[in-house]
Structure 1
Amino acid sequence: MTNFSVPSRGEVSANNQEIFDNLKKGLGMVPNLYAVMAYSDTALANYLAFQNAKTSFSGKEKQAINLVVSQVNECAYCQSAHTMLGKMNGLTEEQTIEIRKGGAGFDAKLNALVSLTKEVTVKRGFASEATVDNFIAQGYTKGQVVELVMLVAEKTAMNYLHAITKVAIDFPVAQNLN
């Protein structure tokens, strides 16, 4: 089996070394899943541009999307990272768990977002008209339907990368829901 060890700064390209330095300054660390992307000279920069692209969703909404997608795709690494980030964006531990289970009964608008995110992820884009209509009825826009699909794709890419690389989780480990 191919082993994907986490490369150190000295083992990656000069461009990726600069990105590592910026991540360390901003986050205090280079997350293992980001570091493993540096096996490619271009993937890490491309991913960070995609991840940090402008969105009309709030930080809390974006983390809800990330939590749902990571749960559906069974990515313990991303569940852990986004539980921490969700809390940093105003969610409680209990709310992160409820969101990962596919609902947000504590907020009707967020619940519509979580429901559509789960359906898009599970059904590979084939969400029901009722779920999309409910999302719009809760105050979201058609543009946000488009953004949601992009965010699902972005998080799915990371979920898949972790499934292949199996790098160690370097965040507080999220509670197992099974």
Structure 2
Amino acid sequence: MSAASSSIARVPLVDRTAATGTVRAVLDQVHGAFGATPNMFRAVANSPAALQSMWGAFGALGGGVIGAALGEQIAVAVANRNACDYCLAAHTALGRKAGVSGEALAAAQAGESADPRTAAVLRFVLQLVNERGQVDAADVQALRDQGVNDEQIVEIVAHVALNLFTNYVNVALGVPVDFPGVKLRLAH
């Protein structure tokens, strides 16, 4: 069942204004960053540790070396592969905000890109997801052949891990989508 097909979350959505302590502090940061408090963070706020982990990972990777545009294309590819309506909608909106065209985001859903470097990254990302991390030296070398360095490779894996976390939260907990909807593409 996808998040979009569920109208009621399977855990309470924490109200930022009623939250206290660490949860309130983190939700205030989230609200400041988005101008609203997305439902995903409200669901994760049921666990202060999970909320701090997720928000900290977003902050750390947001300041990383691969850049927002590629990070959002990775997120869209992973969300589409995992049939996460929530993350697909959120990262399509964030990708557009990062300057990625609608066409490039639609291509990323299928793990494709007109840019050879981005295409290699997206192929690797989907291989990580499909094979549950079981890639080999040749797969990593294919990234290096496109000019992706070791720092970027490790960061790409971290983006995949974060997106698996968010996808699983949204799908498993039926978090209602509060971003403009995007149609999932069938896997090839």
Give me the TM-score of the superposition, normalised by structure 1.
Answer: 0.91
Structure-2 residue corresponding to 1:134: 142
Matches within 5 A, 1:18-167: 18-53=25-60, 54-104=63-113, 106-167=114-175
Structure-1 residue corresponding to 2:179: 171
Deviant stretches of 4+, over 4 Å: none
Q: C-alpha distance in 2, partners of 1:3/1:87?
A: 30
Partner SS state of residue 26, structure 1? helix
Structure 2: stretches of 5+ with no match in the other structure: 1-8
Q: Which has the higher contact order (CA 8 A, sep 6+)?
A: 2
Q: Percent identity?
A: 25
**What is the RMSD computed on CA atoms of the aligned residues?**
1.8
Give me the TM-score of the superposition, normalised by structure 2.
Answer: 0.87
Alpha-carbon deviation of 1:149? 1.3
The answer to whether the 8 A contact 1:109-1:138 is kept is yes
Kindly provide the amino acid, as one letter, of the partner of residue 103 in structure 1: E
Q: C-alpha distance in 2, partners of 1:158/1:130?
A: 29
Alpha-carbon deviation of 1:5? 3.1
Structure-2 residue corresponding to 1:5: 12
- Segment of structure 1 superposing worse, 23-32 or 10-19: 10-19
Structure 1: stretches of 5+ with no match in the other structure: none
Deviations, residues 88-134 of structure 1 (Å, cap 9, x unaligned)? 11211111111111111x21111111111111111111225443222
